[in-house]
Amino acid sequence: MKETSIIISGFGGQGTLFSGQVLAYAALDNNFNVTWIPSYGPEMRGGTASCTVIISKEEIGSPLVRNPDISVVLNLPSLDKYEHLTKSGGCLVANSSLINRGLNRDDLKNVYIPANEIAEEIGLSRMANMVMIGGMLCLAPVLSLEVVKQALSEHIPERHRRTLPMNFDAMQRGYEFAEQALAEVAA
């Protein structure tokens, strides 16, 4: 793996920026180079919020990419934007709770995860972002689930520390859901 680019996109408030930061911390803690950059335009106010994370063993040039290796889309506008931009042969993780259509191309490894429903089962709807991250780590094992959990426990803001077990649970369930979905496709 030379360099892996990940775009995480959803509505403002879905936690896309934070979940990207968790990946960035995990990458740094495991001796990768990493960049995290948010979209900070006016679109953030009430619209789409996205961030780009690049993980590499080498020095990272551009922190932005036109065609990400991995797209994690939490809502329909994000799928509409990033489906055709994702690199051929790349990965796409979609939140089926808020996305009611399939893909228009067949060259992407992909998995649909009902992230909001899973988060509500856990008891905190805000965990949908972590469910998606869990699913992503199964589909595209850039980092292991364990190191991401470790990074989260070390970098979660103090005021949210009590939600740590739920975050872990969310990632785990997202990972397992993706694992099962992929096994069904393979079978």
Partner 1 sequence: MAKELLKGNEAFAEAAIRAGCEGFYGYPITPSTEFLEYMAKRMPQLGRAFVQAESEVAAVNMVYGAACTGKRTMTASSSPGISLMMEGISYIAGTEVPAVIVNVIRGGPGLGNIAPSQGDYYQMVKGGGHGDYFPIVLAPASVQETVDCIILAFDLADKYRSIVHVIVDGNLGQMMEPAELPPMRELPKEPPEWAVTGAKGREPNFLSSIYIDPADEEVTNIRLVKRWMEIEKNEVRYNELMMEDAEFAVIGFGTAGRVASSAVRAAREEGIKVGLFRPISLAPFPKKEVEEISKRVQRILVVEMNSGMMLDDIVPLVEGRVPVEFYGRMGGMTPFPDEILDEIRRVSENKAPVNGNARAEWIARLEKIVEEGK
Binding site for partner 1 (CB under 8 A): 21, 24-25, 28, 33-38, 40-42, 59-67
Rounded to a whole number of angstroms, the minimum distance from the CB of residue 35 to partner 1 is 5
Residue 123 Cα to chain centre, angstroms = 20
Helix 145-155, helix 128-139: angle, nearest 10:
150
CB of 77 to partner 1, least distance (A): 18
Among candidate residues 11, 13, 20, 46, the one with its CA nearest the CA of residue 143:
20
Q: What does DSSP assign to residue 87?
A: P
Whichever of 16 and 97 has its CB closer to partner 1, that residue is 16
Residue 24 Cβ vs partner 1, minimum distance, rounded to whole Å:
6
Judged by beta carbon, residue 43 or residue 107, the one nearer partner 1 is 43
49, 12 Cβ separation under 8 angstroms: yes
Q: Helices 115-122 and 164-186: crossing angle, nearest 10°?
A: 140
What HEC string does 28-45 produce?
HHCCCEEEEEECCCHHHC
- Choose between 60 and 108: whose C-beta lies nearer to partner 1: 60
How many C-beta neighbours within 10 Å does residue 145 have? 19
In the bound state with partner 1, the residue whose beta carbon lies nearer, of 32 and 112, is 32
Least distance between partner 1 and beta carbon 20 (Å): 9
Minimum CB distance to partner 1 smaller for 21 or for 78:
21
Residue 53 CB, nearest approach to partner 1 (Å): 9
